[in-house]
Chain A
Amino acid sequence: MAWAIDDRFTKGMIAGTVAGLVLAAENLSSYYLFHFTKRRALDFASILIYGHTPHGLWESLFAELAVFVFTAVLGIIFAFLVPGITSKNYLLKGWMFSVFLWFSIYVIGTLYKTPIISKIDLPTAASNFISTSIFGVVLAYVLRLLDKRTERRPAR
């Protein structure tokens, strides 16, 4: 089976996962190193999966895995959006896409009164905003890099 990174789905999935890794690094350092945010991205996933924040390392790792699945899905959606919205000012578009999703997640969490998502203090909200901004920019940047590699080949 040929393995090639020349279709939008695979490129979006890779870009989303790489951006998810950067998001995790920023988010975890904000939580453990700078004590700025009170909630990690994996806490949000944990609430959806276990119904509570993670107990122990394995639950945390599994929740982080779910976050990567989610960021990969976002990467795929963005990759399929790019041909429609064009890649001009791609960093701005990536940032806008990500911030829009960040706000949408807050709105959905509040509407459904989901624990921890519906009640967030200012430092956590600011930290999440920074995290999602970085996510969007990295996502657009990596996707652009992958697109440039295959620019001369027909899109699939």
Chain B
Amino acid sequence: MALESRFLAGVVAGVIAGMAKDLSDLVSFYLFRLSTTRFLDFSAFLIFGHKPRTIVETTFAIAAQIGWSAALAVFFCFLVPLIGRRNYLLKSTFFGVAAWFTIYAVLALHKVHGLYGFSLSSCVSNIFGAILFGLVLGLVSQRLLPCDRASI
């Protein structure tokens, strides 16, 4: 089912991929205790300046986090006509991993309080989330993107 709008396809794919990423992140945080900083903590630090303290703050941080995922996915969907659809899942997965490293680098350069200097287990958990985000983004957007000649 292809959507008419590339933007809308990106938003839908991004929301679904963001939810998959957050789910894996929460499992890693609460069940396996791998990660020490949840993805929602990233957005909470950037919005409130601290980890979420109430359920309302947590919900708001998750919403912001999903919104960010949607924005990334929209960006990817507009990249598709440029990079082509060959090896599509490889491209979307690599996009997720590259976004992960870029976000780490920007936060580290600005030494953002609470979001700088992670443990190895947190990094492994986060990169797994980034790979999952890229894969789901690829799988969903592949079906939703309009199949115009420019993007084949």
Contacts and interface: CB of A to CB of B under 8 A. Distances in A.
Q: Do A and B come from one complex?
A: yes
Interface stretch (B22-30, B32-40, B108-116): B108-116
Interface stretch (A1-9, A20-28, A89-97): A1-9
Nearest to A48: B108
B109 A114 contact: yes
Interface residues of A, number: 29
Contacts, number: 68
A70 interface: yes
B75 interface: no
Contacts of A7: 83-84, 86-87
29 contacts: A4-B86, A4-B87, A6-B86, A7-B83, A7-B86, A7-B87, A9-B83, A9-B87, A10-B90, A10-B91, A13-B94, A48-B104, A48-B105, A48-B108, A50-B117, A50-B118, A50-B120, A50-B123, A51-B108, A51-B116, A62-B120, A62-B124, A69-B98, A69-B101, A80-B83, A112-B109, A112-B110, A114-B109, A156-B84
Given A48-B101, A49-B118, 13 more contacts: A3-B87, A6-B86, A10-B90, A13-B94, A50-B118, A69-B97, A69-B98, A72-B98, A80-B82, A108-B109, A112-B109, A114-B109, A156-B84
Closest 8 CB pairs of A and B: A51-B117, A156-B84, A7-B86, A48-B108, A112-B109, A9-B83, A7-B84, A48-B105
